[in-house]
Amino acid sequence: MIIMDEQELRGLLDELRSLHKETEWAEFKLNYAEPQEIGEYISALANGACLHNQQFGYLVFGIEDETHEVRGTSFKPRQAKTRNEELENWLIRLLDPRIDLRIHEFSYDNLPIVIFEIDAARNIPVKFSGEAFIRVGSYKKKLKDYPEKERRIWRKKTDEDWSAKVCQKATIADLSPEAIKKARDEYRQKHSHLAQDIDAWDDITFLNKARLAIQGRITNATVILLGREESVHFLSPSVAEISWILKDEHGVERDYAHFGPPFILNIEKVFARIRNITIRHLPDGSLFPKEITQYDPWVIREALHNCIAHQEYKLKGRINIVETPEELIFSNVGNFMPGSIEQVIRQDAPSEVYRNPFLARSMVALNMIDTIGSGIKRMFLTQKNRFFPMPDFDFSTPERVVVRIHGKILDEKYTRLLIGKTELDLATVILLDKVQKNIRLPKANNLFLKKQGLIEGKYPNVYISARLAAVTGQKARYIKTRGLDDNHYIELIMEYLRQYDYASRKDINELLMNKLPDILSSEQKMHKINRLLSELMRKKLNLIKNIGTDRTPKWVLTEQSKIN
């Protein structure tokens, strides 16, 4: 169990608040509920977390359910009792099987918050007071009314690790001799102290020692990594295939190729397809190499190996690598097991739950991945050290993880900031990277960056601060992002009317839209123009008037403004 401090708990809360309101492993409430209802929710969230391959379910107090706004709570669970028994003990006693339950009490924006962190069910539905519950959308239901969900929980016991399943009719003859030789070479490199022993092992002994076979029997993992091309039928109806697709700057497909087992050999063929060209960046700067490859080879291989290790093969989808002139896009089917990128970075430790643990251990043994972990933090650090944008992880599509590796500097002047401020820690760089990409930050992160003097602007429309703009040569961009005083825009409107006598709304829009701050959306720019026009027509100023209609306005100068 990982103990979280208050800052980590606030980060966890931000992650939970960003979830869809119908997430079946998280529930939000404002204040104390009846003990029986709390127990039922614990059962439902534990079972929901199991079905969605989450480590934990969460019951959160102090958050508005519909909006996920922080309101605070008066609920103090450790002071609560039921039937003269402490609430926490009473809840745990009535859970069957008993699961770990952690209660976190902390403050967020000076408002009290309570989070119940609930271990996911493991192979057996969790009951409370003799009844198992489940979340269906945003509603809590009895699990017995949803037998297909209950079956899925029970099936986890026998079908939890698909990669360890034995292919009953497969033999060593169904494996590629070239792939076995490659596996031996990699195993020898990983375990150099066993070099002489490895040479004496026959192939079956080697497969057992390398954890690719189980007592000489061929597994799904063995076929994926070492199987002959025609051996894929042993995996049916599951699919093991990698597709590489090349697209031009217009998104038009220019080339493609498909690769099946043995992955230990064919991942190198995929890697060879990627055009990791040498590019020039900051040719006038002395701190940055003049020439550098678009992508770090280790990052490419790590992203590809992660797709193989974490693919949900039973969903019958391909692993895709889409190459564009500016980025590589890796995708695999199956949800993201650790829950969030922030959690992986924060914990800085391998996940406790893996989709294909047998396959992952085999890949470790064959020197394909360093540890049974995602390597995500190292990917971020590598990009940081190369002064490239951070990888983007997208979980918006159900049962699919998409990772974008940028092969282009988004803003060279911004990159010089990273070159000049190498002392910035990874967490801060990740936040600044989001600002660079105009990604909305949680309020706590926004406050942190503001206190450091790294950003300015009114939340959520923030941008690089004036101080950093000066350091990085972004003064012009800063002014364009921040915008000018309203008087400047008012004078532009007045000057237009003096020169052309009248202006339609289209004329005003064409005059101002490209001059307003880039940080504003098109809709926000339109609202600002409305406000400026209203201000000019108010009695206090009375500088312009509308001689058209509400549908087709036409503004002219008032007599008063002409006199002035």
> What is the structure's pLDDT at 134?
95
Side-chain half-sphere CA neighbours of 170 within 13 A? 29
pLDDT in tens, 364-405: 889 888 654 557 888 998 998 888 899 998 877 777 899 999
Q: What is the pLDDT of residue 411?
A: 64
In 3D, which of 297, 279, 299, 298 has the Cα closest to residue 289?
279
Rounded Cα–Cα distance for residues 406 and 294 (Å): 8
* Block residue for tokens 């990983």: 190
Q: Residue 221 pLDDT more than 90?
A: yes
Segment 495-507, tens digit of pLDDT: 888 888 899 999 9
Question: Global pTM?
Answer: 0.57
Among the listed ranges 93-107, 180-194, 349-363, 478-492, which one has the minimum average pLDDT value?
A: 478-492
Q: Mean of the pLDDT values across residues 342-366?
A: 73
Is 329 a residue whose pLDDT tops 70?
yes
Interval 200-220 mean pLDDT: 90
Environment class of 547 (CB within 10 Å of its CB; exposed 0-12, middle 13-18, buried 19+): exposed
Give the separation between CA 549 and CA 494, rounded to whole angstroms. Answer: 20
- At residue 288, does pLDDT exceed 80? no
Q: Which amino acid type is present at position 493?
A: I
The pLDDT confidence band at residue 1, using thresholds 50, 70 and 90, is: very low
- Sign of the Cα torsion 548, 549, 555, 557 reads positive
Mean pLDDT along residues 61-75: 91
Task: Please state, in angstroms and as integers, the Cα–Cα distance from residue 276 to each residue in 408, 457, 484, following that order.
Answer: 12, 38, 42
CB-based contacts of 74, cutoff 8 Å, min separation 6 = 31, 32, 112
Mean pLDDT, residues 253-270: 95
Q: Which residue has the tokens 């992203």?
A: 303
Domains of the chain plus CATH, in order, are 6-158 (3.30.950), 161-409 (3.30.565.60), 426-482 (no CATH), 486-563 (1.10.10.10)
Q: For position 22, what pLDDT does the model report?
A: 67
Scored b (16 or more CB within 10 A) or e, 344-381 reads: bbbeeeebeebbbbbbbbbbbbbbbbeeebbbbbebbe
Asked whether the beta carbons of 82 and 35 are under 8 A apart, the reply is: yes
How sure is the predictor about 2, in pLDDT bands with cuts at 50, 70 and 90?
very low
Torsions phi, psi of 282, nearest 5?
A: 50, 55
Instruction: Look at residue 351 and tell me whether its pLDDT is greater than 70.
Output: no
Determine the 3-state secondary structure of 86 from DSSP: strand
Choose the weakest-confidence range: 47-51, 104-108, 431-435: 431-435
> 537: Cβ–Cβ under 8 A, 6 or more apart, which residues?
543, 544, 545, 546
- Is residue 384 within 8 A of residue 390, CB to CB? The reply is yes
pLDDT of residue 286: 47
Least confident of 172-176, 230-234, 464-468: 464-468
pLDDT at position 437: 84
Amino acid at 122: R
508: nearest Cα among 530, 485, 538: 530
The CB density around residue 304, as the number of other CB atoms within 10 Å, is: 24
What is the distance between the alpha carbons of residues 138 and 25, in angstroms, rounded to a whole number? 10
pLDDT tens for 289-314 read: 567 788 999 999 999 998 999 899 98
φ, ψ of residue 502 to 5 degrees: the values are: -150, 165
**Local confidence band at 413 (pLDDT 50, 70, 90 cut-offs):** low
Read off the amino acid at residue 162: W
For residue 291, what are the CA distances in angstroms to 143, 263, 404, 420? 59, 32, 22, 19
Most confident listed range (129-143, 285-299, 450-464): 129-143
The pLDDT of residue 238 is above 70: yes
The more confident residue out of 397 and 156 is: 397
247, pLDDT greater than 90: yes
SS3 (DSSP) at 495:
helix
Q: What is the pLDDT of residues 513-525, one digit of tens each?
A: 888 876 677 888 8
Q: What does the alpha-carbon distance between residue 55 and residue 560 come to, in Å, rounded to a whole number?
A: 70
- Residue 477 has what pLDDT? 55
Q: Which residue has the higher pLDDT, 71 or 9?
A: 71
- Which pLDDT band, with edges at 50, 70 and 90, does 285 fall under? very low
Question: φ, ψ for residue 300 (rounded to 5)?
Answer: -60, -50
